[in-house]
C-alpha cells in the first residue's frame, strides 16, 4: 500500500536549466497539492490539481512555473530557467475525493548551482 511517491529525491540544476519534478499520489486519490519549503521555513502552498484540471494556482509564481496532473501518469511540477532562489524542498501531497487529510511525499530537494 504505497504512499505518495516523488522523484527524483534530489535534483541539481544549473541556472537557466529546466527542473521537472514528479509526484504519484496515493492510489485512489484524485487531489494533488504542491508545496515549497525553503530552509528553516514552513511549507507554502503552490498549486492544487485534480485530474486534468488546475483548481487553485494562487501560490504559484506567475512565470517559469507550471503544473499538470494528466489523466494517466504522475503529476508534474515544471520549473523553467531555474534561478538560485528556486533552491528548496518541493513536497507533493494527495487527498481522497472528500476530506481534508493530506498525505505528503518525501519531497524533492532542488539545488540550483
Residues near other proteins, by CB under 8 A: 4, 31, 33, 35, 41-45, 48, 56, 59, 91, 93, 95-107
As measured in angstroms, the least distance from the Cβ of 73 to other proteins is 21
Residue whose entry in the numeric block shows the C-alpha cell 494533488: 32
Edge-first strand order for the sheet with 19-24 is 5-7, 19-24, 75-79, 65-68
Smaller CB separation from other proteins, 55 or 83: 55
As measured in angstroms, the least distance from the Cβ of 81 to other proteins is 26
Residue whose entry in the numeric block shows the C-alpha cell 524533492: 108
- CA-nearest of 92, 63, 89, 94 to 77 is 92
Smaller CB separation from other proteins, 13 or 36: 36
Smaller CB separation from other proteins, 50 or 81: 50
Count how many Cα atoms sit within 13 Å of the Cα of residue 70 in the half-sphere of its side chain: 6
As measured in angstroms, the least distance from the Cβ of 93 to other proteins is 8
Amino acid at each position: 500500500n504505497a504512499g505518495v511517491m516523488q522523484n527524483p529525491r534530489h535534483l541539481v540544476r544549473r541556472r537557466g536549466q529546466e527542473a521537472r519534478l514528479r509526484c504519484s499520489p496515493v492510489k485512489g486519490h484524485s487531489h494533488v497539492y504542491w508545496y515549497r519549503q525553503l530552509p528553516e521555513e514552513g511549507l507554502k502552498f503552490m498549486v492544487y490539481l485534480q485530474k486534468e484540471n488546475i483548481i487553485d494556482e494562487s501560490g504559484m509564481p506567475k512565470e517559469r512555473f507550471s503544473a499538470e496532473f494528466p489523466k494517466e501518469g504522475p503529476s508534474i511540477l515544471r520549473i523553467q530557467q531555474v534561478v538560485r532562489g528556486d533552491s528548496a524542498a518541493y513536497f507533493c501531497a494527495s487527498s481522497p475525493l472528500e476530506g481534508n487529510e493530506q498525505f505528503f511525499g518525501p519531497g524533492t530537494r532542488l539545488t540550483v548551482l
